[in-house]
Structure 1
Amino acid sequence: MTDATPDSAPMSGPMPTAFDPQALPPLREVIARFGLDARKALGQNFLLDLNLTGRIARSAGDMTGVTVVEIGPGPGGLTRALLATKAKQVIAIERDHRFIEALQDVIQAADGRLSIVEGDALEVDPIAIAPAPRAIVANLPYNVATPLLIGWLGRIEEFVSLTLMFQKEVADRLVAKPGSKAYGRLSVITQWRSDARVLFNLPAKAFTPPPKVESTIVHLTPRANPEPAEWKALEQVTAAAFGQRRKMLRQSLKSLGNAEALLAAAGIEPTARAEEVDVSGFAALARAYRGR
């Protein structure tokens, strides 16, 4: 995590009013009352078990004084759990207008601590809508989880943390180490900018409707001293390297120019393969490529 500063660290202040998630109508009752069927096109799978949503909210850490951004609150299971923490406020981004009406009871019970932004999370800048210190806690729709993460990683120093749900296969890639089959471009970029760790898995049966895959909660905090590298250059070298991951780097990096000279400048053996190079190695490659 970055050094604590007035703009990035949790602040002391008035404690939020106590919020009891159980005092509201059951989530299944809310879904039935408003006819809230899950829409596959929007990647909707509802997590209705308040014990599990509470566990996710607690796993994000101490949210005292923090503004929490949630993506896709749906009927509000995780929203309720986040309001039960010491978060200063919760801002939920929801593109499906049906849920905005359904969340009105939660808004009223939250006593000013919950606001809804209607829009597409891919187009809404969480930094613009949420004052620092800020964090994101979200059960991400599978179909947009990776592009959302990439966008946030580019400015992760603006967040206290990201606590996110991914398809288990994607979560495995985020934390994969060199030499493993899951290690790839997403691993390098994620671990270059953040410290990422898997917290726990959620079975498919925990959701309504149940997806065909397992889900995993991942916690990411800004890396204090990321390896010096330019984002675009790192994307280019990892794309070339992992685009032909079975080949030696002297072959896979040919599209970037003189691969042998590039590898020599980065101190990497030309016979190495992409999956054998750690984050520091790729950062060195990016610097060499950018310098040339």
Structure 2
Amino acid sequence: MPKAPKGKRNGTAHGSPYNHGGKGSAANHIFKMKTDIGQHVLKNPGVAQAIVDKADLKQSDIVLEVGPGTGNITVKILERAKKVIAVELDPRMASEVTKRVQGKPEAKRLEVLLGDVIKTELPYFDVCISNTPYQISSPLTFKLLTLSPSPRTCILTFQLEFAQRLFARPGSALYSRLSVNTQMWATVTHIMKIGRNNFRPPPAVESSVVRLVPKRPRPQISWEEWDGLLRVCFVRKNRTLRAGFLGTSTVMEMLEANYRTWCAQNNIAVEEGPAEVEVNTEVEMDAAIGSSPNEDAEEVGGEEEQEEEWDGIMDVDDPDIPSFFKDELDEKAKLLNVKSGSKRKRKGKVAELVREKVRKVLEDETELADRRARMCDEGDFLKLLWAFNKEGIHFS
């Protein structure tokens, strides 16, 4: 008697939306990932578990997860934490992570917020864990640093080059405003690298996991003032600070407007009218240039070309550059087109007063006029901010 034909083993397994192995696996994907918004789901359960372990979660913790995807990390967090608040931009992903716990006790401890995490008002949470979409790495980092009360710790997965910017030191090619801000407000620790094949679909770059622990107590300075100063300094981080301030008319106009506001708020009278002394355009041109044509290249050395390459890959500061810098090149072009030895347009007394205060801070009080932002540490920027504020110069 012939044997009955055997059915396919585990025949129903191929119908599982989470089974992506074997022949014809492409047809079993839940849906096509939107890589244009950074959808690269972490598929390695060992790496997901390691990320959760590094968070040192407590049973009483409320965890914010940014970009939960299909919930591979979410379910592991729910095993250890009191509650998970998952913020997801894609409605399809939000539906999937909800299905993962549907009908289970964990469902009551999962809250899914649909929307952009940068624009969402976040509720209180103790720990943040994020497989961060690369497009929002910079704004998410700044948002977490400015939260009050601050989270206990943040375990964040970033593009490798972006993670290296977070703990870059003065003088390195990757040192930037992001580096100074992060290290001022938090302690940064590199945890591990993650190969691209641990994600589905694989991204074009390697990834890295970092831990941010906000400093407690928080530094007793204004975030707006501090970040405003750094924005000015790092717009052209290879220029001297003298050129970045005194040689940039848009910066001086902004500082003059802020000084007038500060005087009005503190009932300090300002003397209006044209300035009594004219200054040669040559002087202003020298300040605008800041140095001889080859000086920057000589000081930076062989790193300048490499630095431009990094800025092309991920220039984290460009999206945040204030609007008053957009006409900076036009302003310098106008200065350079003026005939040598001619006089610049006479400015008001307030403008000259602010200019003298800035010169005094840079050259006399801090002696940082000839330093470049990329070579200054947070102590130098603190000294600079304190000296400016003492003269009534503000950046917020």
Classify the TM-score, shorter chain: 0.7 to 0.9
SS in 1 for 2:73: helix
Query: 2:168, 2:179 within 8 Å by CA — same for their partners in 1?
Result: yes
After TM superposition, the score normalised by the length of structure 1 is 0.82
| Change beyond 3 A, Cα 1:263–1:63 | farther
Give the corresponding residue for 1:65: 60
| Corresponding position: 1:115 with 2:106 | no
| Change beyond 3 A, Cα 1:245–1:39 | same
- What's the CA shift for 1:265? 7.1
Query: As a proportion of its length, which structure holds more strand?
Result: 1
| Corresponding position: 1:170 with 2:162 | yes
Give the corresponding residue for 1:101: 95
- What's the CA shift for 1:76? 0.8
Give the corresponding residue for 1:251: 243
SS in 1 for 2:101: helix
205, 212, 219: which one pairs with 1:220?
212
Gap regions ≥5 residues in structure 2: 1-15, 21-25, 253-354
Query: 1:27, 1:76 within 8 Å by CA — same for their partners in 2?
Result: no
Give the corresponding residue for 2:175: 183
Of the structure 1 ranges 281-290 and 47-56, higher mean CA displacement relative to structure 2 is found in 281-290
Q: Distance in 1 between matches of 2:132 and 2:197?
A: 17
Give the corresponding residue for 1:15: none
Give the corresponding residue for 1:19: none
Amino acid at match of 1:161: T
Query: 1:249, 1:273 within 8 Å by CA — same for their partners in 2?
Result: yes
200, 204, 207: which one pairs with 2:196?
204
Query: 2:241, 2:370 within 8 Å by CA — same for their partners in 1?
Result: yes
Give the corresponding residue for 2:30: 35
Aligned sequence identity (%): 28
SS in 2 for 1:143: helix
Task: Please list the CA deviations of residues 172-230 of structure 1 after superposition, one character each: whole Å capped at 9, or x if unmatched.
Answer: 11111112111110011111111111111111111111111111111111112454432
Q: Distance in 2 between matches of 1:192 and 1:211?
A: 31
Q: Distance in 2 between matches of 1:231 and 1:144?
A: 20
Q: Distance in 2 between matches of 1:66 and 1:266?
A: 47
Query: 1:156, 1:194 within 8 Å by CA — same for their partners in 2?
Result: no
Q: Distance in 2 between matches of 1:230 and 1:266?
A: 21
Amino acid at match of 1:204: R
| Change beyond 3 A, Cα 1:213–1:72 | same
Amino acid at match of 2:201: P
Give the corresponding residue for 2:153: 161
Q: Distance in 2 between matches of 1:267 and 1:260?
A: 10
| Change beyond 3 A, Cα 1:76–1:282 | same
- What's the CA shift for 1:268? 4.2
| Change beyond 3 A, Cα 1:175–1:189 | same
- What's the CA shift for 1:274? 0.8
Q: Distance in 2 between matches of 1:170 and 1:28?
A: 32
Q: Distance in 2 between matches of 1:243 and 1:26?
A: 47
After TM superposition, the score normalised by the length of structure 2 is 0.61
Amino acid at match of 1:159: P
The structure having more radius of gyration, on CA atoms, is 2
- What's the CA shift for 1:269? 2.6
| Corresponding position: 1:277 with 2:376 | yes
| Change beyond 3 A, Cα 1:43–1:139 | same
83, 97, 102: which one pairs with 1:89?
83
Amino acid at match of 2:38: G
SS in 2 for 1:224: coil
Aligned residues: 263
| Change beyond 3 A, Cα 1:32–1:136 | farther
Query: 1:199, 1:218 within 8 Å by CA — same for their partners in 2?
Result: yes
Task: Please list the CA deviations of residues 82-130 of structure 1 after superposition, one character each: whole Å capped at 9, or x if unmatched.
Answer: 122x21111111121112332233223325221211111122122x2x4
Give the corresponding residue for 2:302: none
Amino acid at match of 2:120: V
Gap regions ≥5 residues in structure 1: 1-24
Cα root mean square deviation, aligned = 2.4
Give the corresponding residue for 2:71: 76
Give the corresponding residue for 2:260: none
Q: Distance in 2 between matches of 1:199 and 1:233?
A: 31
| Change beyond 3 A, Cα 1:265–1:26 | farther
Amino acid at match of 1:27: Y
SS in 1 for 2:213: strand
- What's the CA shift for 1:157? 4.1
